[in-house]
Amino acid sequence: MKPTVLKNIVLSLLILPGLLGCVSTTKTLDPESEVYYDASYDFSDKKKIVDKLVSPLIHEEFIPRRTQKPILIVYPVVNETSEHISTGGITDDIRRELLRSGKYRFISEEQRNNILKEDAYQQQGYVDPAMRIAMGKQLGAEYIVSGTLRSIKKKEPKQWRLTKSQRVYYSLDLTVTDLTSGELVYADQAEIAREASQPIIGW
Characterize the bridge pairing of strands 163-178 and 105-107. unpaired
Segment near another protein (CB under 8 A); pick from 16-24, 54-62, 63-71, 192-200: 192-200
**Residue from 37, 126, 160, 203 binding another protein (CB under 8 A):** 203
Segment near another protein (CB under 8 A); pick from 20-28, 80-88, 137-145, 183-191: 80-88
**Residue 203: CB minimum distance to another protein, A:** 6
CA 28 – CA 174 distance, rounded (Å): 32
**Residue 79: CB minimum distance to another protein, A:** 5
81 binds another protein (CB under 8 A): yes
Burial of 103 by CB count in 10 Å (0-12 exposed, 13-18 middle, 19+ buried)? middle
167 binds another protein (CB under 8 A): no
91 binds another protein (CB under 8 A): no
Q: How far is CA 124 from CA 113, 121, 134, 138, in A?
A: 17, 5, 14, 20
Report yes or no: 93 and 107 within 8 Å, Cβ to Cβ: no
Q: What is the dihedral of CA 84, 88, 93, 99, to 10 degrees?
A: 160
CA 186 – CA 63 distance, rounded (Å): 9
83 binds another protein (CB under 8 A): yes
84 binds another protein (CB under 8 A): yes
Site for another protein in 106-145 (CB under 8 A): none
Question: Closer to another protein at the Cβ: 108 or 198?
Answer: 198
78 binds another protein (CB under 8 A): yes
